[in-house]
Each structure stands twice: as C-alpha cells, then as structure tokens.
Structure 1
C-alpha cells in the first residue's frame, strides 16, 4: 500500500510540474488590476498596524477579504520586503510593476497551489487509478485556474485546496476535521459561505444527531472548533474595536446587482428583458427613462438600474439562493450521505453563482472544481462536466482582453477540451451507463448509481448528444461574431454587444447545468 501511494504521489507531482511549467511561461503575460490590489495589500499589512488594515484608504484597492487572508498577505510581505522593499512601501509602491514584483507575486501564486495539490490528492487517494488520473487532469490542468490565477491574477487555487481538504474529511466521515477546514476557508474568503447552509444541515444531522447527551456533546465540540477558528481570525480586530469596519469592508452591498462584466447567471436574462421592454415601450411612446448607470455601460455601484421590471435587492437574491438550495438541504437532512457531500456543496455554489448578488464570473471556479470529482462517477456526470467546464472557461475569455493573450486563452481551452475528451473516452468506453432512478451502491466512500453494464457500449461510451453539440457549436458562432463580424460591421459602435452575447449564451449553459444538478439531486433516492 505504501509503494502504491508513493507511486500515486509521484504521478500527481508530474501533473503538477507540467502545469507549473505552463504557469512559469505565462509570468510576463497581462495582469489585471487585481495584481495591484494584492500588491497594495502586501504593503498595507507590512507598513500599518493591524488596527488600521481595514480603515486604510491610501489606495482605491482597500482590504476587503477576511482576516486570515490579511494574515496571509502579511506573511508574504516578509519575503517581499527582503526581495524588493518598494513592493511593500505604502506610498512609493503604488502601481509598482517592476519585473521584481511581477516575478514575486506570480511565484507566490504558483507556490500556494501546493495546497490545491494536497487537496486533490487527499480527495482522490482511495480511488482507482483511472478515476484518480481523470480528476487530476480536470483539476491540476484546469484552464480556468490558469486564466484566473496565473494570467488575470488571483489566489483561488489554494483556497479551493482548503475546500477539497474539507470535503475529503467529510467523505471519510471525519466531520469535525471537515468542519474545521471549512471554517478556516471562510476566514480566508467569505464568498465561500454560500455552502454554509449545506455544511450546517449535513453536520447537524450526520455528526450531532442521535441522542440528547451524545448530540449536545458533539454539537459543543463542533461549535467549539468553529468558534476557535473565528476567534483566531477576528479577535485581534475585536480588541481594537474594528469588527464593524471589517464587516463593512467585507460586505459592500452598494456595489450593485452585477459586476461590470455580467457573470453568466439568471440576472443576465432579467436585465436583458428589462432593457428590451424599456426599448419597446419607448418606441410605443411611453415615458421610460434610461438610468444614468447602465449595466451595458459596465458601471458598478448602482443597485437599482431597472426601468420596467421590479428592483432587485440583496435580500431578494439571498432568498432566491436559499429557495434554490432547499431541495438539497432537505436531502442532506433526510439522508446525510458522506458520498453526496461534494455534489451538494457544488450545487450550493452553482445556486449562489446563478442567483447571487454582485457575482463575479470567476466564482464559477467554486463549483467547476468540486464537480470534477463527481465527473468520474459515470458517463452522465462526465457529459455534464464536459459541457459545463467548456462553457465556464469560455465565459472567462473577456477577462483577457488584450490581443497578445488571445492565442493563450484559446489554446488553453482547446487543449483542455481535447485532453478531457480523450481521458473521458478512455475512462468510459467500456464503462457503465447509469440511470438517475436506479438504486445506489456505495464504493470507495463515494455514492455511485448502479445500472446496466452494456448501455454505455450501446451508446458508444462517452458521446456528446446532439443538442449539446449544437450548443458548443454556438460558442464558436458567438466568438466569431465578437472577434470578426461585429468589428467588421459596426466598428467601435455598440462595443458592449459581444460581451452581452457571451454572458447571455454562457448563461444558458450555466442554467442547463443548474437544472441538471437540481434534477439529479431531486431524483436521487434516499437510502
């Protein structure tokens, strides 16, 4: 067993090394304003006392992540100061973009991905070699992570590592450790809290339920762990009377319903319908005013831009997310199966993405990466993931808008799609087709649907259906319009249209994924 695990880890390290080589080649590429955001956070955590971290306004890029991430930036600043003191200089460092700071910050993201490496290893260590390898392909070679973290610039990889570690403990039945790592994750990035209702219901039912004395003891243990984590994160700021300021920075609801570039979710259709109704009503002579801050203009900060349809508030989006989550929460309460936790958490993040307030397109990583571990279970899951991962990756294309990065994002998506197709075909050529209504069996601490062994062969194994093929062809049409036809026909006019088309079309794909996941959860039988 020890030799097997050593060989497995060696294989995984090869995957990671290959991905790292690609990331190193991309160091000189374009980076977004997020690069300066994180450089400034290095500077303020290094230069200011802790009591001023969340009140500093030296730069527009104020600290708005939870305390553990601020501590993480402070840790990185120790090394940044030795490499180049100007990186962490609060005044002189503004918009500093020398080769030194670029290299330091790029390398810091690459090294932090080691936690993702451990997370995916821990979640897959008990699977057979074929399924384990396929998950490594989908996660370690994820083009979405390369685009968001290693070109655009963010630190999503190691945060997702915490999530995978937490899920791995839950699947093993080690709920206390699973809850601990999820609490740590929330103190790094609070946007992961969308899955908190699933964690709460599942842990309450699976870990705490079962007799008054036993239940209270376990509830106390879990509560103590969570309180200890949040105390370690927030106690220093509470001591300095900064809790309200920290929370104000973390939850800036005044930013508006949508980000400057529309994430492909439900609100894309709502906004489009409102604008279409407003246009036609104005043509009919109605006095419909166009708001000063228009979503198509890419402005952020107006939370009530609608002209015809009812205004949307954060409370409405919060309610819609909870309603969408309710079937999953009912399942988690009625039958808390460890093998279903990853699917439930991924569904929760899909709901948050599809119905949430001020959703960034990058948040699709929160459900795409966990669903990679579900994709290996059967052909249906693999088909769903193949479509979802391509759509989600394509929705990130507008993040890299400079011409020199265009071949990079296209090659990343195409190469990953080909590798994913080949790996999935090899996995499921002689695999088992599964039906959602069939009984469930447990294997390798995961739940699999049991079905006919010949059905997959009858369908040719891993085959994409006609409607899914047509949708993928539509992505090519949308991209061709945005890159060639629109500039040729309209020049610089109506520049928002290509972006709007990407959001709307990808929104259809995300909606399909949300419905598919919801249907699977509803139809999966209780044990």
Structure 2
C-alpha cells in the first residue's frame, strides 16, 4: 500500500514538476484577476446549457427553446456540461445557476456565486491544455517557448477568461492530436481529433487535412511502387492499418451518440441535432464581421451604397443615369435597409445592396478549392512539416472564405502556425502578421472601458516577448536575403505598428459616438478591414512558401 502511494505521488510530482507547469500556475493568477471583469452573452449561453442538461431528459436537450441560447454544440460538449452541472455545489445551485428560464429574466435570478463558479470551471478545465503540451515542452527550449506562448496566448485570455468560453480546454484536445502526429502515433492522433470534433464541430474545417495525412502516412505504402495494372493500386493499401484507423474513428462517433441511440432517437431527431449544429439561416457574416474576405466584400458594398446615395442627390448626371438605374438602386437600398444589411449587429441573413448576394454553396466552393491547394502537396510529400503547413492553410481557407465565420475561429490558424514558425525564420513574418492582426481582431469583443488598457497592454507585452524570442530560436535554413523579402518584412512591421493607432482611433469613435450613433458600426468596420489586410497578407506569404519553396518542407 505504501509503495502504491509512493508511486502515485511520484507520478503526480512528475506531472507538475516542469517549467511549463509554473507558467500555467502563473497564468492562473492572472486569470483570477479577471473574474470580476466583463462577461458576454456567452456566459448566459453556457449557464443555460448547464440548466438544460441538468433539468431536462436527454431526448429534449436539442429541442428545448425555453431560452434563445439553445444547445448547438455536439454531444460530447453536452455531456461535459452535464458533468459540470452534476458537480455544481449546492450553494451555487441555490444561487440560480441551474435554473431553466428565459434569457429575459435569467440575469435577475443568479448572482456572483454563479459567475465565480463558472469562471472557476473554465480555469480548471485548462489543465487539459497543460497536459497536452507538457511532454512536448520537455524536449527542447524551443518547444518550451512554443508551449508557453500557447498557454499565455492573449486569444485564450480574451475569449475564455473575459468574454467567456472553453477554448483552452478544447484546444488542449486538438493539440494532443498534433503532437501525436509528431510522435508518429497515428491512431492516437485520429482518436484525439475525433474527440475534438465531437466536442466542437468547428474542427470540421481541419478534417480534410487529417483525412489526407492519416490516409497517406498510415494506410498507403508507395515504397517500390510501380504501376502495372489497377491491381497495383490495391496493393499499396495497408488494409490492416486502414481497418484499425476506421475502427478508431467510427467507434469514437458511435460511443458519442450511444446514449441517443439507446433512447431510440430517430432520423428526424438526428436531423434536429444537425440543424442546431449547422444553422445556415444565420447568414454569411457574424454580427461582428470576422476579418476575412467577406468583411472586405461587405465594406465595398457599404461604400458603393453611400456612393449611389450621393450620386442620386446630384442634378447633372444624365449620362451616368443612362448606364446605372440609380433611382431603382435607391428603392432597392431602402428595401434592404429595412432588413439586415450586415451592420446592425444582428445574427441573421445578410442582404447586400449593390454587390451580388452570396449563397452558402459559393463559400463552400471557395473553401474547398483553397483547401485542395494545401492538401495536394501534403499527399505527395507527407511529413510533419507539410502536415502542420497544410493544417494551417486549411484553417486559413475556412476562415477567409467560410460561411458565418466567427472572429474566434482565428485561433484555428494561430495555434497550428505556432508549431510551424519555429521550423524556419522565413515563416516568422507571416506568423507575426497573423497573430498580431488576429489578436487585435478580438478586441471588439471587450468593448467596455475597464478592459481597454488590459487587452492592449497584455497583448502588446505578449507580442514583444514572443516575437523577439521566436526570432532568436527559429531556424535559419537559407543563405542571404532577397531584397523583396527584406522589403516585405519592413512593410509587415509598419503594418503591425499601425495596429495600435487603429485600436486607439476605434476607441475614440466608440466614446464619442461619431455621427450621433448613425455610424456606430464604423469602429467595427475599421477593425475588420484593417485586420483582414494582415490575415490576408500572412495567408499569401505562407501560401507562397508552402507551394514554391520546396527545401523548406523537406
């Protein structure tokens, strides 16, 4: 018994006796300072999910509409909420934490006890993030730098510990699948990614990369391959590995949905789950435009709309009126403005005034096209570097061209890119552009004055420390420097420095309500457009290196 306790103590001690654990503990103290800060409606979302899974039978979880914040995450996350609800202390339950009620009265029922409890669950759940990074951080100082930058990433602080979500915990599962690939534990990688997908379906954007990589690296063997007949193609398949991989993935989904199968869910019930997970009626853009292609598209439509209105007031534009039916455009604009024109902060379908309307199939086609460009090199040159590069570019493709993209999805690009940037110094400039613009793009989520300095100072310190450190440790695998590369680097630095004035100008616009509230969306548009320039430029830079700099990926 004493030996058993001794072994357990040694295992626990080894888990926490790492430099990264000290970083994680430090992050906890910083997070505890933020518990009384601003929280978004996402807090009420998760509180309502706690009450749904606690008060209602399983069959009603995806049907309940008592509160507008309905359950729209996959079953594993619902079970996670169920677990949290059943370990909630009685004094928190008495505070109203698990009461199922309309959003109109919920904030009047629960108090600070509920807030503290939910904040605590977010902080505690991030231990999964530490565990996923622990072994990787011990391999080298460079790896430790990568892991500490992820744990202290301002994106997690903003999204999880002020705005309120559980991204750190979920990314911990996702990162485990990446590290498993590095260790060539392909079945473990498939398992962890499948679990991540069953927790949050946003990872579906990255599924093509995992499918191609695991198929090529684990299930196909091209050694000494010579095509003679079609039988030769069948012989390259490692059937045993293919069946094991399929068994791992399918069993994960079957176990996830087993409770629903047990209670007799029908096809119609599963369609209800899918309708919650993929609500296409929410429109092309989110209430706050994520800095992607569609934010630029929407901005151009706004500018053209204002131009048409201005031209309509002019008297001497006879020749122009023959080309453009301005009166008809004005009528159409007035009709659209009674609906959602994309700048009212509404989560619903968006109508453009001048530019063509964008259906979901266009966004799917663009996303698929740019992801295919990232997947083809991975299939023919299958290694860890290519995998991370392809994974990052798949994240880019879905973020830049996807349907109803949340600004929070930028973390799907930042986290994989963090594992990639240390491999070559040429990747540093695209990485700095992405992380700086991506983190700043999250600032509008914290719009209260009490958070203004916090988000700026913490993000600025993180960027200075880690940009300089990564520059010092990242590998230099090339000789000399092209003039165009030097110019691009300097241009990127100018862009990054100009982010601070953009943040300050946007803050001034919010304070003084420019135009008596008529242009209340102007600061958000400024954030979206300027940050989209950084995200786009970083995508172009990485895409160029990925497709045309072959030695980098050997």
TM-score normalised by L of structure 1: 0.89
Q: Which residue of 2 aligns with 1:137?
A: 148
Matches within 5 A, 1:500-519: 500-519=525-544
Secondary structure at the residue paired with 1:472?
helix
Q: Which residue of 1 aligns with 2:54?
A: 46
The answer to whether the 8 Å contact 1:143/1:416 transfers is yes
Q: Which residue of 2 aligns with 1:278?
A: 305
Q: CA deviation at 1:217?
A: 2.2
Separation (CA, whole Å) in 2 of partners of 1:198 and 1:133:
26
Q: Which residue of 1 aligns with 2:271?
A: 244
Separation (CA, whole Å) in 2 of partners of 1:181 and 1:485:
44
Alignment partner of 1:386 is 2:432: yes
Q: Which residue of 2 aligns with 1:445?
A: none
Q: Which residue of 1 aligns with 2:284?
A: 257
Q: Which residue of 2 aligns with 1:55?
A: 63
Q: Which residue of 2 aligns with 1:437?
A: none
Residue of 384, 404, 407 corresponding to 1:338 = 384
Q: CA deviation at 1:308?
A: 2.2
Q: Deviations over 1:141-170 (max 9, x none)?
A: 111100000000000001111111001111
Secondary structure at the residue paired with 1:94?
helix
Separation (CA, whole Å) in 2 of partners of 1:427 and 1:202:
28
Secondary structure at the residue paired with 2:501?
helix
Q: Deviations over 1:456-509 (max 9, x none)?
A: 9x99xx999321122123212322322236755645341111110110000000
The answer to whether the 8 Å contact 1:167/1:341 transfers is no
Matches within 5 A, 1:398-413: 398-413=444-459
Alignment partner of 1:113 is 2:126: yes
Secondary structure at the residue paired with 2:238?
helix
Separation (CA, whole Å) in 2 of partners of 1:8 and 1:468:
39
Q: CA deviation at 1:81?
A: 4.9
Matches within 5 A, 1:315-464: 315-427=361-473, 432-434=475-477, 451-452=478-479, 455=480
Residue of 229, 241, 247 corresponding to 1:218 = 241
Q: CA deviation at 1:510?
A: 0.5
Secondary structure at the residue paired with 1:271?
helix
- The 1:335–1:350 alpha-carbon spacing in structure 2 relative to 1, beyond 3 Å, is same
Q: CA deviation at 1:385?
A: 2.0
Matches within 5 A, 1:140-151: 140-151=151-162
The answer to whether the 8 Å contact 1:123/1:167 transfers is no
Q: Deviations over 1:107-136 (max 9, x none)?
A: 11111111111222244443x22x123213
Q: Which residue of 1 aligns with 2:497?
A: 473
Separation (CA, whole Å) in 1 of partners of 2:489 and 2:463:
16
Alignment partner of 1:180 is 2:191: yes
Q: CA deviation at 1:519?
A: 1.2
Residue of 513, 520, 525 corresponding to 2:545 = 520
Residue of 89, 99, 102 corresponding to 2:99 = 89
Residue of 45, 61, 65 corresponding to 1:37 = 45
Secondary structure at the residue paired with 1:72?
helix
Q: CA deviation at 1:237?
A: 2.3
- The 1:329–1:470 alpha-carbon spacing in structure 2 relative to 1, beyond 3 Å, is same
The answer to whether the 8 Å contact 1:391/1:509 transfers is yes
Matches within 5 A, 1:489-508: 490=515, 492-508=517-533
Q: Which residue of 2 aligns with 1:295?
A: 342
Gaps spanning 5+ residues in structure 1: where? 435-450
Q: Deviations over 1:229-285 (max 9, x none)?
A: 111112322432221111111110000000001000000111112222233334444
TM-score normalised by L of structure 2: 0.85
Q: CA deviation at 1:358?
A: 0.5
Separation (CA, whole Å) in 2 of partners of 1:283 and 1:463:
39
* Aligned pairs, number: 498
The answer to whether the 8 Å contact 1:123/1:165 transfers is no
- The 1:89–1:331 alpha-carbon spacing in structure 2 relative to 1, beyond 3 Å, is same
Secondary structure at the residue paired with 1:147?
helix
- The 1:363–1:486 alpha-carbon spacing in structure 2 relative to 1, beyond 3 Å, is closer
Separation (CA, whole Å) in 1 of partners of 2:527 and 2:165:
22
Separation (CA, whole Å) in 2 of partners of 1:33 and 1:470:
35
Alignment partner of 1:203 is 2:211: no
Secondary structure at the residue paired with 2:35?
coil
Q: CA deviation at 1:182?
A: 0.6
The answer to whether the 8 Å contact 2:433/2:537 transfers is no
